[in-house]
Amino acid sequence: MSVPRYWREIKYRYRLIGEMCTDCGAAFFPRRAVCPRCGSKDLEECKLSEKGAVVSWTVVRNPPAGYEKYAPYVVALIELDDGVRILSQVVDVEPEEVEAGMRVEATFRRVREDGSSGIIEYGYKFRPVIE
């Protein structure tokens, strides 16, 4: 993988930056050039909530190349508190402990390595909130 392909996503992946339509107020992740709800091209970056709740989840047991050492791992569709939905691994939890509605928060983690001498990619994963 090229270095620019990694660094161009850093802001969005490290800080959970999405995009909001200035005309209808809808927010999106990842960023978009056009609002699919109202057609507006006037969108601006916005910071997304870092907490949310699990809507649905799975346990990936036969992972794609590059993710072998993390398997099995939980991947969930999460609805953030601002209403934006995001797909993410959920870590620091046993798969059988995950349930719909579980409160989770973003955490900064290693995601994968591009071979033995390539880029080490970081980004968001989510973990259960300890109240």
Partner 1 sequence: MRSVSVAGVGLTRIKEHWEKSLRDLFAEAALKALDDAGTDEIDAVYVSNMGSATLQSQLHLGAMMADAIGKRGITALRVEAASASGGVAFHEGVKAVASGLHDCVLVGGVEKMSDALPGEVAAALAMAEDQEYTAYTGVTKLGLNALVHRRYMERFGAEAKEIAMFAVRGHEHAVGCPHAQYPFKVSVERILASPMEADPIHMLECSSVGDGAAAIILRPAEEAEDGVEVASTAVATDFYHLTERYDITVFEAVRWAAARAFEAAGVSHKDIDVLEVHDDTTITGVVSLEDLGFVEKGKGAAFVAEGNTARGGELPTNTFGGLKARGNPVGATGLYQIAEIALQLRGEAGPCQVEGAETGLAQSLGGLGTTCAVTILRRR
Task: Find the part of the chain contacting partner 1 (CB under 8 A) among 29-37, 42-50, 102-110.
Answer: 29-37
Give the one residue of 10, 100, 120, 129 binding partner 1; rule: CB under 8 A: 100
- Give SS3 for 64: coil
- Given Zn ion, partner 1, none, residue 58, with its beta carbon under 5 to 8 Å by kind, binds partner 1
* 40 scored as a contact of Zn ion (CB under 5 A): yes
Task: Find the part of the chain contacting partner 1 (CB under 8 A) among 25-33, 38-46, 102-110.
Answer: 25-33
Q: How far is the CB of 39 from Zn ion (least distance, A)?
A: 7
Q: How far is the CB of 89 from Zn ion (least distance, A)?
A: 30
The torsion angles phi and psi of 10, rounded to 5 degrees, stand at -60, -50
* 36 scored as a contact of partner 1 (CB under 8 A): yes
Q: What one-letter code names the amino acid at 16?
A: L
Sign of the CA dihedral running 111, 14, 128, 30: negative
* 22 scored as a contact of partner 1 (CB under 8 A): no
Identity of the residue, 62 or 117, whose beta carbon is nearer to partner 1 in the bound complex: 62
* 28 scored as a contact of partner 1 (CB under 8 A): yes
* 57 scored as a contact of partner 1 (CB under 8 A): yes
Instruction: Please state, in angstroms and rounded to a whole number, the distance separating the CA atoms of residues 59 and 111.
Output: 16
Long-range pairs, 62-68, Cβ under 8 A, ≥24? 66/112, 66/113, 66/114, 67/112
For residue 109, which of 119, 120, 124 has the smallest C-alpha distance?
A: 124
